Amino acid sequence: MRLAKRVLGMSPSPTMAITSKAKEMRAKGIDVIGFGAGEPDFDTPEHVKEAAIEAIKSGFTKYTAPAGILELREAVAEKLKRENGIEYSPQEVVITDGAKLALFNLMLSVIEEGDEVIIPAPYWVTYPEQVKFAGGKPVFVETKEENGFSLRLEDIEPVVNDRTKLLILCTPNNPTGAVIDRNELKRIGEFCAKRGILIASDECYEKLTYDGFEHTSIASISEEIKSVTITINALSKAFSMTGWRVGYAAGPREIIDAMIKINSQSISNVNSVTQKAAIAALTSPTDFLKDWLKAFDERRRYMVERLNEIPGVKCLMPKGAFYAFPNVKELIEKGGLKDDFALADYLLEKAKIAVVPGSAFGMPGYLRLSYATSMNNIIEGLNRFKRAAEELL
């Protein structure tokens, strides 16, 4: 059997692979501490679960419109106005299976064979795979550690040409936790609007920022910027609803209509019960977030402090999301290891901790550790990391 080229060229998600490997080891009775998680360790809020139970009991279990039910599209439009300061009509919103499908439908809707898509590195692993799947060419630009991994207009300017179709922005960022401030977003947005470059603004981690940083949605800055931007978000991280599979995109009607058409010929619609739960989530108070943020913030500080005590490791303080992205170049070099993959393997075998190598995100010489895990795991995991590093040097 010969599989299609488009799927042969696709790499499986390395973050999911490391999580599965750690799970397998755990199933064999090995005590592995996982720092691979890309999801909050908190439970979905009770009122959201109740809304789903109610939907099942009332028989809301049939096909819905491919765009999502109107009540949910309205709830998203209201949320974007209230919290992000962007005016979208419900018709400019499509409900998708998480942010992942929103991005996928977007790529399939706008990318033609050979179009270039700018992806700032380090990047979320899925972006380049989706771009290639859609026939596009990923063009990577490196963000710099000395700029806190925060993208600058100057990073993208040199690679823009007539084939540049789309820029993918992710703030707060996975894997670095970096954020882009309003000023820089304005510069980047105005540049893209002037050049007719579309912007996919992945705002999945918007609720998870620290030290008083306030997230800005790039589409809220001006009408010109809004006209080239597709705002993408999900309930996955902000409501701890990763398994429910619900997200959305909002943007120019023509693009949203194309994305809806793809829904109609692929998934049909997001699970009807999930959609009802999403309405409850988006229209109820989000006080629980304060406690989640407090816990994430404590873990963030602790993790970064401890990482910086490990010989050969240097880690910036991330301003958002729930990941630390330490520079481990010195540890790799002095420890005589080949690269960050080898270090991640060493840490899994020796210290029984699962971390993701930076190479998976297009940035060798780093590791990603998620702090969406208990403080006890973080304490013990970092003790193990330190011991294993000391043995290596």
Strands (E), the chain: 33-34, 93-96, 116-121, 137-142, 164-170, 198-202, 229-234, 247-250, 323-324, 353-354, 356-357, 367-370
How near is the Cβ of 99 to ligand PLP at its closest, in Å? 4
Taking the C-alpha atoms of residue 262 and residue 40, their distance in angstroms, rounded to an integer, is: 30
Q: Which helix (H) or strand (E) holds 274?
A: helix 272-283
How near is the Cβ of 371 to ligand PLP at its closest, in Å? 14
Nearer to ligand PLP, 100 or 306 (CB): 100
Taking the C-alpha atoms of residue 357 and residue 365, their distance in angstroms, rounded to an integer, is: 8
The correct pick among 72, 197, 234, 388 for binding ligand PLP (CB under 6 A) is 234
Closest CA to 115 of 141, 134, 140: 134
Nearer to ligand PLP, 98 or 365 (CB): 98
C-beta separation of 300 from 322 below 8 A: yes
Q: What token pair was written down for 280?
A: 């409850």
Residues 73-132 that bind ligand PLP (CB under 6 A): 98-100, 124
Interaction between residue 372 and ligand PLP (CB under 6 A): no
The correct pick among 170, 277, 279, 369 for binding ligand PLP (CB under 6 A) is 170
Closest CA to 126 of 23, 24, 47, 232: 232
Which residues are within 8 A (CB) of 208 and not within 5 positions of it... i.e. 6 or more apart?
172, 237, 238, 293, 296, 320, 321, 322
Return the biggest CA–CA distance within the chain: 63
Interaction between residue 179 and ligand PLP (CB under 6 A): no
Q: Report the amino acid identity of residue 264.
A: S
The correct pick among 34, 36, 38, 136 for binding ligand PLP (CB under 6 A) is 38
What is the total count of residues that contact ligand PLP (CB under 6 A)? 13
How near is the Cβ of 349 to ligand PLP at its closest, in Å? 26
Binding mask 245-284 for ligand PLP (x = CB under 6 A): --x-------------------------------------
The correct pick among 204, 228, 281, 307 for binding ligand PLP (CB under 6 A) is 204
Point out which span in 109-117, 146-154, 234-242, 310-318 binds ligand PLP (CB under 6 A). Answer: 234-242
- 232 backbone dihedrals φ, ψ, rounded to 5°: -120, 135
Interaction between residue 242 and ligand PLP (CB under 6 A): yes
Instruction: List residues binding ligand PLP (CB under 6 A).
Output: 38, 98-100, 124, 170, 174, 202, 204, 234, 236, 242, 247
